Chain A
Amino acid sequence: MSTPAYLNDLSWFSLAIAALLILINGAISIALHLKLEKRLAIAALRTVLQLLAIGYILGWVFEVNRWYVVVGIMVLMTLVAGRAAGERGAWHYKGMRGDAVTSVWGSSWLVTAIGLFVIMRIHPWYEPQYVIPILGMILGNTLTGVAMGMDRITSELQARREQIETLLAMGATRWEAFRPAAQNAVRAGMMPVINAMAVVGIVSLPGMMTGQVLAGQSPDKAIRYQIVIMFLISAASGLGTVSAVLMAYKRLFSAEHRFLYWRLIENKGDD
Chain B
Amino acid sequence: MSNPAQAPLLSAHQIERRAPIGDAVLLHPASLDIFGGEHLILSGPSGAGKSVLMRSLALLDPLCGGSLRFRGEPVGAAGIPHFRSQVAYCRQRPAVLGGSVEDNLRLPFELKVNTGRGYRRERVVELLAVAGKPPEFLAKDGRDLSGGEAQVMGLVRAMQLDPTILLLDEPTAALDPESTVQVENLVLGWARGRSSDVATVWISHDPAQDARVGTRHLRVVAGRLSDLPAPEAHAQAHQAMVQAAVGTDPRV
Interface on A for B, CB 8 Å cutoff? 162-163, 165-173, 176, 254-258, 260, 262-263
Contact = CB atoms under 8 A, between A and B. Distances in A.
13 contacts: A162-B93, A162-B95, A165-B95, A167-B111, A169-B60, A170-B84, A171-B84, A171-B111, A172-B113, A173-B112, A176-B111, A256-B77, A258-B61
Given A171-B84, A172-B113, A258 B95 contact: no
Contacts of A256: 59, 62, 77, 80
B81 A172 contact: yes
A68 B129 CA distance: 75
Contacts of A165: 60, 91, 95
B71 to A, nearest CB: 16
A173 B81 CA distance: 6
B21 A169 contact: no
A170 B106 CA distance: 12
Contacts of A171: 81-86, 108, 111, 113-114, 161
B8 interface: no
A260 B21 CA distance: 11
A171 to B, nearest CB: 3
Interface residues of B, number: 31
Contacts of B97: 163, 166-167
B158 interface: yes
A170 B154 CA distance: 10
Contacts of B89: 169
Q: Which 7 A-B pairs have the closest CB atoms?
A: A171-B85, A171-B113, A166-B95, A162-B95, A169-B89, A262-B20, A163-B95
A175 to B, nearest CB: 9
Contacts of A163: 95, 97
Nearest to A176: B111
Contacts of B82: 171
Given A171-B82, A171-B85, 10 more contacts: A166-B97, A168-B84, A169-B88, A170-B84, A170-B158, A171-B111, A171-B113, A173-B81, A256-B77, A258-B62
A176 B90 CA distance: 18
B85 to A, nearest CB: 3
Contacts of A176: 111-112
B17 interface: no
B94 interface: yes
Nearest to B86: A171
B241 interface: no
Nearest to B94: A166
Contacts of B161: 170-171
B216 to A, nearest CB: 23
Nearest to A160: B95
B130 to A, nearest CB: 21
Interface in B145-169: 157-158, 161
B186 interface: no
Given A170-B158, A171-B84, A258-B60, A162 B91 contact: yes
A165 B95 CA distance: 9
Contacts of A257: 77, 80-81, 84
A166 B91 contact: yes
For B82, B88, B111, B158, the residue with the greatest tally of chain A CB atoms inside 10 Å of its CB is: B111
Contacts of B58: 169
Nearest to A163: B95
Contacts of B113: 170-173
A236 B199 CA distance: 53
Interface in B43-59: 58-59
Nearest to B90: A169
A254 B61 CA distance: 10
Interface string B68-102: 00000000010011111110111101110100000
A172 B95 contact: no
A162 B91 CA distance: 9
Contacts of B114: 171
Interface string B175-211: 0000000000000000000000000000000000000
Contacts of A262: 20-21
B169 to A, nearest CB: 10
Contacts of B111: 167, 170-173, 176
Nearest to B62: A258
A176 B89 CA distance: 17
Nearest to B75: A256
Nearest to B78: A255
Contacts of A255: 77
Nearest to B89: A169
A254 B60 CA distance: 11
A19 B178 CA distance: 68
